[in-house]
Amino acid sequence: MSYVVGIDVSTTGVKAIVVDERGHVVGSALTQHSWDMPRPLWVEQNPDDWWNGTWRSMRRVLTEAAIDGRDIIGVGLTGQMHGLTLLDKSHRVVRPAILWNDQRTEEQCDEIRDVFGRSELLALTGNDAMAGFTLPKLLWVKENEPDAYARIAQILLPKDYVRFRLTGRFATDRAGASGTLILDIAKRDWATAILGAFGIEKSWLPPTHEGPEVTGHITPEAAKWTGIPAGTPVFAGAGDQAAQAIGVGASHAGTLAMTLGTSGVVFAPTDRPIVEPGGRLHAFCHAVPGRWHLMGVMLSAAGSLRWFRDELVPTESFDVLTREASHVPVGSNGLLFLPYLTGERTPYADARARGAFVGLTVRHDRAALARAVLEGVSFGLREGLELLSAAGVDKTCEIRISGGGARSSCWRQILSDVLGRELVLVNTLEGAAYGTALLAGVGAGIWASVDEACSATIKVKGRIEPERESTGRYEQVFSLYKELYPALRHISHELSRYAESY
């Protein structure tokens, strides 16, 4: 039996899974890591934590699955997108990586629009300038840390730093590169006009590759750390959302992936690049060669529930909280939650947007608060889905749901009722790690194409139908939810500036 490994360098840890040639997961290991928030709006991480998590997870999964490393025929990489990782000419890390949910670059986003033009930027990259993207972070370093900027010799995304440690080579995938705001999505390569406009050396950027392409091989040094033999090919893989979509079978138009992870994502594959005129959706290359996708992203989805649990009821499990929430009526007894705990992207690209409970009274207990969180996130995902439909995505396409939040039957039903749509569960639970393992399997020759890999391995295992009465009641609550951001925007911005002044 031959095997492939999928590695997911996420915000909270590094997962490694082993998948056999029939598509079965035979082992999984996770090494957790933390992040730093040295100032309001800032989120940073030590790149060495990614590498340490990678080799530890790879060693543990091989041991626990009793797999001989010599039977591994390929490794695929995925991970958090947008993070700015800088190396100097000696390949040393210049400064902590600035992550996808860092919101410090409001001024740089305005600068990008002023210099390049918003419509021109949308036409070329498929995206408006948003604080989470890589280019604004790079300009922030240039303007605020000139000594660090002067040392730059290489710019990498988080998973591609791990790729470098595994192979000694610099490379990235085109789905992940789409989230830098430096990629020409139609040509599927770096945009020379962007490089010229902002004085970025092309030599700082790694070559781009399609998801199933070989980008290097395990070095003898990496083999000592990981237990996978030197010479094993490492494939391009994908940014985490494209890999997550592959992991649930959303490789082609007609199937939509919805993810309830730390962030919340609605992801629609397309056969051509489609740009939403308002810039409220992301237009990226897919991990499938020659395909693209439209994507809406809310920054705090299951992350909102984690915040609620960790800060308010840290002794309780998520299962207890969602079970209690299931007994609260639709609308949480008149309580609304705005899930903008780390700013927002879709439908409002606003780094200073803030979360809120609205309608709070003494009759609201923790069960009502928990349900309000579940409903607020579901409303946010509905707004993203409505934008996809307005951009031309088929309103009848199948919605496949995944992510940690999707493990809750209560949350799944709330989401189905809020959307008024059937949701589909599939047999795969490993998400992005599984998707990148399939990409490695295609590259290694187990399957002839990504579509074939998905068809052979991913099966529907359940369906959640909306309850008509609940869906009708949610229409009224959703109309109130949509009024929250416009009503609170000014206060949120002023409170954000107040917090930054200390």
Tell me if 267 sits within 8 A of 244, measured CB to CB.
yes
Amino acid 261: pLDDT: 87
Which of 245, 275, 298 is a domain's end point? 245
Q: Which of 235, 119, 118, 239 is nearest to 178 (CA)?
A: 239
Residues 6+ apart with CB under 8 A from 388: 256, 266, 268, 281, 294, 296
Assigned domain for 194 exists: yes
Q: Render the burial of 58-67: b for 16+ CB within 10 Å, e for the rest.
A: bbbbbeebeb
217 and 301 belong to one structural domain: no
226 and 257 belong to one structural domain: no
Assigned domain for 414 exists: yes
97 and 231 belong to one structural domain: yes
324, 326, 331, 336 alpha-carbon torsion, rounded to 10°: 50
pLDDT of 403 strictly over 90: no
307 and 179 belong to one structural domain: no
Residues 6+ apart with CB under 8 A from 110: 129
Amino acid 50: pLDDT: 98
162 and 272 belong to one structural domain: no
Assigned domain for 286 exists: yes
What value, to the nearest 5°, has the Cα angle with vertex 489 and ends 484 and 492? 110
Q: Indicate the pairing of strand 292-298 with strand 264-270.
A: antiparallel
What stretch of H or E contains 481?
helix 468-500
Residue with tokens 């009274």: 361
pLDDT in tens, 422-433: 999 999 888 899
Amino acid 477: pLDDT: 98
373 and 233 belong to one structural domain: no
Q: Calculate mean pLDDT across residues 272-298.
A: 94
pLDDT in tens, 57-107: 999 999 999 999 999 999 999 999 999 999 999 999 999 999 998 989 999
Residue with tokens 């992550």: 99
254 and 239 belong to one structural domain: no
The mean pLDDT value of the chain amounts to 95
pLDDT of 351 strictly over 90: no
215 and 276 belong to one structural domain: no
Q: Which of 306, 462, 471, 482 is nearest to 384 (CA)?
A: 482
SS3 content of the chain, % helix, strand, coil (to 5): 40, 20, 35
CATH code, domain with 131? 3.30.420.40
Is residue 289 packed enough to be buried (19+ CB in 10 Å), middle (13-18) or exposed (0-12)?
middle
pLDDT in tens, 181-231: 999 999 999 999 999 999 999 999 999 999 999 999 999 999 999 999 999
Whether the model clears a pTM of 0.85, i.e. scores above it, the answer is yes
Assigned domain for 499 exists: no
Assigned domain for 399 exists: yes
Amino acid 449: pLDDT: 97
Residue 276 is classified by DSSP as -
Instruction: Kindly list the catalytic residues.
Output: 240
pLDDT in tens, 8-30: 999 989 999 999 999 999 999 99
pLDDT in tens, 229-279: 999 999 999 999 999 999 999 999 999 999 998 889 999 999 999 999 888
217 and 256 belong to one structural domain: no
In the chain, the number of structural domains is: 2
pLDDT of 138 strictly over 90: yes
301 and 423 belong to one structural domain: yes
Structure tokens at 71: 């039977």
Q: Calculate mean pLDDT across residues 402-419.
A: 95
The rounded distance, in Å, linking the Cα atoms of 46 and 171 is 20
Assigned domain for 187 exists: yes
Q: Calculate mean pLDDT across residues 323-349.
A: 95
**Can you give the residue range of the structural domain that contains 146?**
3-245
Assigned domain for 201 exists: yes
419 and 288 belong to one structural domain: yes
pLDDT in tens, 463-501: 999 999 999 999 999 999 999 999 999 999 999 888 877
pLDDT of 179 strictly over 90: yes
Which of 187, 216, 245 is a domain's end point? 245
168 and 142 belong to one structural domain: yes
Amino acid 501: pLDDT: 77
pLDDT of 502 strictly over 80: no
Q: Calculate mean pLDDT across residues 103-114.
A: 94
Tell me if 442 sits within 8 A of 456, measured CB to CB.
no
Structure tokens at 34: 């933390």
Q: Calculate mean pLDDT across residues 362-367.
A: 96
Assigned domain for 495 exists: no
